[in-house]
Structure 1
Amino acid sequence: MSSPEKKNVLSPLPQSTSFTSLPDDLLMSCMARVSRLYYPTLSLVSKSFRSLLASPELYKARSLQGHTESCLYVYLASSYDNRWFTLCRKPDKTLTNDTSLNKKSSGYVLARVPFLHSPPAYFSCLVAVGSDIYNIGCKSRYDFKPSSSVLVMDCRFHTWHEAPNMQVELTSLSASVVDGKIYVAGNSCLYAKKNSFEVLDTKTKTWDPELPCSYTKHSFYNSRSSCIDGKFNVVACGDMVAYNSKEGRWDNVETRRGNYMFLDCYCEIENVLYSAPFGGFRWYDTEVRMWKQLKGLVGLGKLPLPGTVRLADHGGKMAVFWEENLGSQKMIWCAEIALERRKSCEIWGIVEWFDHVLTVPIGYKFVKALAATV
C-alpha cells in the first residue's frame, strides 16, 4: 500500500515589521537621519512620533551624527495676530504640473509653527544664533513704549523662554550677530538723541557691561544693522558706522553700503551683503565700495516692490520671499538661489526652485525670514 502523497502546504509569510515596533534606540537613530523638512508631516503619523520628534534625545543624536541643517523660519504679523511658519516638504509627494508657470511643483510649503501665543516683533529685532531665534525688545514696530525684555524661541522644540533683559530700555533698536554674540544698537528716548549699545554673550547668557557709545552724530532710532568682516555695522540717518570689537571703537564706513538697508529686504551671506531693491538684486563689493548687480537668475523674473520682498541666508544659499496680492488674500512665494562667484568682481545667482508656499489673509504683513541651525 503506497503511502499517501504529501501535500505542498505553503508556510505563512512572515509579517512585515512595523516601523514603530523597532527598538527605541534604532528608531531614534533612523529619525535623526531624516531631514527636518519632513518633521511636520511625520508629526501627524501618531502621538508616539510627535513625542519622539519633540524629544531632546533626538536632537542630541542629530548633533552627534552630524545631521544638523539650516531651517527657514518666517514671521508674519497683523493687527490681531502673530504667526511663525517653517519651510517643509508637502505631505503629498506627487509633483503637479503648473501650466501657468510651465513647471512642476517644488514640493515645498510653509507650515505653521503651533504656538499658543507668539510675542510681537519687528524686522531689526529678530536674529538667529544656532538653534535659537532671539526677539530683542519683544514688541511691535508701532509700540513706542521702551522695552528691555528678550525672548528666545528654541527651534528644536518650538517653545519660547525668557533671556536676561537688556540693561537699558529702548524705544527702537537693531541687532546683528558677530561671532555668536548679539550686538544691539538702539535709542533709549523717543525724542532725544540718546544712543545705547549692548552685547549679549549667547553662551554665558549674560550682557556685557554697558559699552560706551561714542557715536553721537545721529540717533540710532530706526537704524538698521548687519555683520560684515566681523564688524557690527549700523546705518543711522544715511551714515554707516562699524564697531571694531578688537579695538573697542566706532569707525566710519563708506555711506553707499547702507543705501539699500532701510528697505528691510537685505541679508548677509558668507560675508557679502545682498539686497533686493526695486525688483532686482544687488550685492555690495567692499573692494570697490559700490553696489553691483547679481547676474544670472534665469527664470525668476522681476520681483515686486522692495517692501514685499524678504531675503535670508539659507545655508549659504539665498532664500527669497515675496508677496502677491489676490483680493482678500495674498500668496507668499519662495525661491532658493545658489550663489557662485565666477570672477572676483562678479557673483551669479542660479535659481534652484521657486514656488507658491503659503496663502494668508491680506491683512498679514511679511516681517522677516531667517534661518536657524537645527
Structure 2
Amino acid sequence: MVEYEETSVYNPRECEGERMVHIVSQRLEKGGRKDRLNDTVDCVCVVDDVLFAFVRWNGIMWFDTKLSVWRRLVGRDGKQLPFVLHETAMAEHDGRLVVLWDGLRGENEVDNTYTKNVQCMLVSLDRSGDRICGTVDWSGIAATVPYSFRFLHCLAVSD
C-alpha cells in the first residue's frame, strides 16, 4: 500500500506482520545516514517479485528487501533511466516493466479539440550483483487520447 511518503509492506511468504517502510535515499545502502525522500509515489508495480515505484522527481525505483531501502533503477552503465514528471502508470508485461505517461499535448485541426499522447517505455530488467539494471527496449507513442484522460489503474492483459 502506498500513502504519501510511506509504503506499507507485507510479506505473506514469511508470514511477517505489516511494517512501515519509509522511502529513503541510497545513502543508506552505502553506510551513510538515512535520508527520507520527500516525494510522491505516483504508481507501483511488481515484476518478478520485485516492487517498483515511480517516484516523482526521482524516477523509477525498486525496493531492496535486504536493506529495506528504495534504490533507483539504473541502466547497465550505472546512469539513471530517462523519466518524465507527468502523470504515470506502470504494469508488468512478459517479465518486463511497462511505463506509461501523458506526453505532448496538441490541438486536433479537424474539430479543434485538444488531445495528448500516451507515451510508453518498455524496460527489460536484469540483476547485476545486488542491484537491478534496466534496458529500454522500446519507447514511443502508444495512443492519442482526449486531453481530459487520466490514468486510474494499469493492467497488462494477455490471451
TM-score, length basis structure 2: 0.70
Richer in strand (by share):
2
Equivalence for 2:22: 256
**1:333 counterpart letter in structure 2:** Q
Pick closer, same or farther for the CA change 1:304–1:361 going to 2, 3 Å.
same
Tell me by how many angstroms 1:350 deviates.
Answer: 0.5
Equivalence for 2:148: 363
Unaligned stretches of 5+ in structure 2?
Answer: 25-36, 107-113
In the alignment of these two chains, the number of paired residues is 137
Pick closer, same or farther for the CA change 1:241–1:348 going to 2, 3 Å.
closer
Equivalence for 1:292: 71
8 Å Cα contact 2:126-2:132 kept in structure 1: yes
After superposition, what is the alpha-carbon deviation per residue over 1:263-290, rounded to whole angstroms, capped at 9, x for unaligned? 3421011111111112511111000110
**Where does 1:120-131 land on structure 2 (aligned, <5 Å)?**
none
**Where does 1:152-301 land on structure 2 (aligned, <5 Å)?**
224=1, 238=6, 240=8, 242=10, 244=12, 251-256=17-22, 263-279=41-57, 280-296=59-75, 301=82
**1:242 counterpart letter in structure 2:** Y
Tell me by how many angstroms 1:324 deviates.
Answer: 1.4
Richer in helix (by share):
1
In the alignment, does 2:133 pair up with 1:354? Answer: no
In the alignment, does 2:84 pair up with 1:303? Answer: yes
Tell me the C-alpha RMSD between the 2 structures: 3.3
**1:270 counterpart letter in structure 2:** D
Unaligned stretches of 5+ in structure 1?
Answer: 1-223, 226-234
**1:301 counterpart letter in structure 2:** P
Tell me by how many angstroms 1:304 deviates.
Answer: 2.0
Give the greater-gyration-radius structure (CA): 1
Equivalence for 1:334: 120
TM-score, length basis structure 1: 0.32
CA distance in structure 1 between the partners assigned to 2:80 and 2:68 by the alignment: 29
**1:323 counterpart letter in structure 2:** D
**1:330 counterpart letter in structure 2:** K
8 Å Cα contact 1:257-1:289 kept in structure 2: no
Pick closer, same or farther for the CA change 1:373–1:348 going to 2, 3 Å.
same
8 Å Cα contact 1:321-1:332 kept in structure 2: yes
8 Å Cα contact 2:63-2:71 kept in structure 1: yes
